[in-house]
């Protein structure tokens, strides 16, 4: 049995439509899931929507509909975005799903059984936008004497009866976790931030609300619904069958990695492991906090208003072009910027002009000059050098980087190999060889065919549809498109022997126009 791998994204608040930040996270997690599948692992991948809480209740009230109506409508857009962007999730979870209520109440009871929940009065600062409580000392001054959260969002003084979770009890166990498992929080800068926050001392956490009812009811405590983050974090185990156990649970928990944005690392690296320790559930291996995507340098969010619709972007640029750009341009873990020019330039220069053109030229020459038949090859030293370059990129540099979620580094290694192939085409000039040395032309085209197949397989987690189309044209079987297939000798001769004949190749990446229509 192959090794299991469980990856999740954050679940998004469907209080508005998805924005490009949501798309970015889903695409990154999808690339991880696809890459791990190609590495032969048994992957489970979950994403979804986080539908409870005051923010949802307020957004619904503003539109004069119920929170559930709002959630149903907006969650649909998130699902649509996931489908559009080829997000290969095994479950799209909604926290309004029935099994999620049962799981949230079960983890609540487990924390209660551990003696970690008590009833008291909550008085403190709450940010609806962040769905988070803050200490006085964390607040920053806003305009006109107002107080803002460290994220710059408005906070309100809140007083109500509330259940509390004994977070303070977990200060030492959490610090021990960060020490003993230095990879628990990545990248490192975020680990240091969290460790210093926890070292400063932890207050017990208010984990229920009585001022509204849109949430999971607290078992045995009428009038209380759970603080939205308690149920939200629980989604990761709901999706595996908690508390009933079963095959998914046995196989995939603890998760390998939770992919989330930097603004919610505290919830995942402090609250979540504390809840799990309390409920005596194993901890996930890792929490990875990626950076923020900025529109030409400016933070975008639903509340700020400069939202770009990812579905419209995918229509404009192409799904794979958008996926490629985001993972190539932004160094994963850091903030990154996007702009129309940057997407168009990256896509044209690397996908259309370099990789697309390499594939198109090569396959067309085989189609036209060899009637689509794959030639036998007898390599010389130039050919062998190219084969080594491509193998180093596809079998070593790219997978090593992707294993660490360093997409931009892996793609750069891949791009270097694409450049090497284009240089080889120019240097060998098969169009000249056609007249001067047709046998040599055949060898050159065969070497290129092999290189293109390797390049297409290696990049397929990033641009799955285009890579798939190319591999279809090349006659590569659907079950021979993983890293094990890349290592396997003899595939080319088998493909030749099977009598495969190339048909007229079709282009993969249309050139994008810089001028906006
Ligand atoms: O935080 N760039 O939901 P959310 C990159 N429901 N990533 C961004 C981003 C941007 N500009 N803006 C947001 C929530 N994100 C909670 C999560 S998980 C149990 C509950 C990321 O809709 C953000 O960091 O506000 C988060 O990881 C995800 O999008 C959903 O954000």
Per-domain residue ranges for the chain?
4-290, 340-497
232 ligand 1 Cβ < 6 A: yes
In the reported structure, the alpha carbon of residue 268 is separated from the centroid of ligand 1 by a whole-number distance in angstroms of 12
Once rounded to an integer, what is the mean pLDDT over residues 339-352? 96
Q: Average the pLDDT over each of 304-308, 407-411, 470-474 and give the range with the smallest value.
A: 304-308
* ipTM of the prediction: 0.99
Q: Does residue 307 carry a pLDDT above 80?
A: no
81 ligand 1 Cβ < 6 A: no
301 ligand 1 Cβ < 6 A: yes
Nearest residue (CA) to ligand 1, atom 22:
12
Confidence of residue 297 (pLDDT cuts 50, 70, 90): low
Q: Does residue 389 carry a pLDDT above 90?
A: yes
In the reported structure, the alpha carbon of residue 51 is separated from the centroid of ligand 1 by a whole-number distance in angstroms of 13
Please give the radius of gyration of the chain, using alpha carbons only, rounded to the nearest integer: 26
Give me the CATH code for the 4-290 domain, please: 3.40.50.620
12 ligand 1 Cβ < 6 A: yes
Tell me the sheet residues that pair with 132: 127
Q: Which of 68, 106, 108 is nearest to 240 (CA)?
A: 106
Confidence of residue 517 (pLDDT cuts 50, 70, 90): very low
Once rounded to an integer, what is the mean pLDDT over residues 176-196? 97
Q: Does residue 301 carry a pLDDT above 70?
A: no
Q: Which of 239, 225, 236 is nearest to 272 (CA)?
A: 236
Task: Return d(Cα 435, Cα 236) in angstroms, integer.
Answer: 62
User: Percentage of residues in the chain with pLDDT exceeding 70?
Assistant: 97
Task: Return d(Cα 449, Cα 242) in angstroms, integer.
Answer: 48
Task: Return d(Cα 303, Cα 300) in angstroms, integer.
Answer: 8
Nearest residue (CA) to ligand 1, atom 31:
12
Atom of ligand 1 nearest to the CA of 50: 6
Confidence of residue 299 (pLDDT cuts 50, 70, 90): low
Within a 10 A sphere around the Cβ of 244, how many other Cβ atoms? 12
Asked if residues 372 and 366 have their Cβ atoms less than 8 Å apart, the reply is yes
Question: What would be the CATH architecture of the domain defined by 340-497?
Answer: Orthogonal Bundle (1.10)
How high is the pLDDT of residue 305?
Answer: 56
How high is the pLDDT of residue 308?
Answer: 81
Residue 87 contacts by C-beta under 8 Å, 6 or more apart in sequence? 26, 27, 29, 30, 47, 81
In the reported structure, the alpha carbon of residue 290 is separated from the centroid of ligand 1 by a whole-number distance in angstroms of 10
Task: Return d(Cα 156, Cα 149) in angstroms, integer.
Answer: 10
User: Percentage of residues in the chain with pLDDT exceeding 90?
Assistant: 94
Once rounded to an integer, what is the mean pLDDT over residues 26-47? 98
Among 7, 10, 308, name the best residue to mutate to test ligand 1's pocket (greatest count of ligand atoms within 8 A of Cβ).
10
Cα 405–Cα 407–Cα 410 angle in degrees, nearest 5: 110
């Amino acid at each position: 049995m192959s090794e299991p791998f469980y990856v999740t994204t954050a679940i998004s608040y469907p209080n508005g439509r998805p924005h490009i930040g949501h798309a970015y996270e889903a695409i990154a997690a999808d690339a991880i899931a696809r890459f791990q599948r190609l590495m032969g692992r048994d992957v489970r991948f979950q994403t979804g929507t986080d539908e409870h809480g005051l923010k949802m209740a307020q957004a619904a009230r503003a539109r004069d509909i119920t929170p559930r109506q709002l959630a149903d409508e907006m969650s649909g857009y998130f699902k649509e975005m996931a489908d559009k962007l080829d997000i290969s999730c095994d479950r799209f979870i909604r926290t309004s799903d029935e099994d999620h209520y049962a799981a949230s109440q079960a983890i609540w009871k487990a924390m209660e059984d551990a003696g970690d929940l008590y009833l008291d009065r909550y008085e403190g600062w709450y940010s609806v936008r962040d769905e988070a409580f803050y200490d006085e000392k964390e607040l920053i001054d806003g305009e006109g004497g107002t107080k803002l959260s460290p994220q710059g969002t408005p906070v309100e003084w809140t007083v109500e009866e509330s259940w509390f979770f004994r977070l303070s009890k977990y200060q030492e166990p959490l610090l021990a976790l960060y020490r003993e498992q230095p990879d628990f929080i990545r990248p490192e800068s975020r680990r240091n931030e969290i460790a210093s926050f926890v070292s400063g001392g932890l207050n017990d956490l208010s984990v229920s609300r009585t001022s509204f009812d849109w949430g999971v009811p607290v078992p045995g405590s009428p009038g209380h619904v759970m603080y939205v983050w308690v149920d939200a974090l629980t989604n990761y185990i709901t999706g595996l069958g908690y508390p009933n156990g079963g095959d998914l649970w046995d196989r995939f928990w603890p998760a390998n990695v939770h992919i989330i944005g930097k603004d919610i690392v505290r919830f995942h690296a402090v609250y979540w492991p504390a809840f799990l320790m309390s409920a005596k559930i194993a901890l996930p291996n890792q929490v990875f906090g990626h950076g923020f995507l900025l529109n030409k340098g400016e933070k975008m969010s639903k509340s700020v208003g400069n939202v770009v619709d990812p579905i419209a972007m995918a229509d404009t640029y192409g799904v794979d072009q958008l996926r490629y750009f985001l993972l190539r341009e932004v160094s994963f873990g850091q903030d990154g910027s996007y702009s129309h020019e940057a997407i168009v330039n990256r896509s044209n220069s690397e996908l259309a002009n370099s990789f697309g053109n390499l594939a198109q030229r090569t396959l067309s020459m085989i189609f036209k000059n060899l009637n689509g038949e794959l030639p036998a090859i007898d390599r010389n030293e130039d050919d062998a050098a190219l084969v080594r370059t491509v193998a180093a990129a596809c079998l070593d540099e790219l997978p090593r980087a992707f294993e660490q979620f360093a997409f931009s580094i892996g793609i750069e290694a891949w791009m270097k190999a694409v450049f090497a192939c284009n240089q080889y085409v120019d240097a060998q000039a098969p169009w000249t060889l056609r007249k001067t040395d047709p046998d040599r032309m055949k060898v050159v085209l065969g070497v290129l065919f092999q290189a293109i197949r390797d390049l297409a397989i290696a990049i397929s987690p990033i641009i799955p549809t285009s890579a798939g189309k190319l591999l279809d044209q090349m006659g590569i079987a659907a079950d021979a498109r993983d890293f094990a297939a890349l290592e396997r000798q003899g595939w080319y001769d088998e493909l030749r022997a099977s009598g495969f004949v190339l048909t007229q190749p079709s282009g993969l990446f249309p050139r994008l126009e810089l001028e906006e229509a």
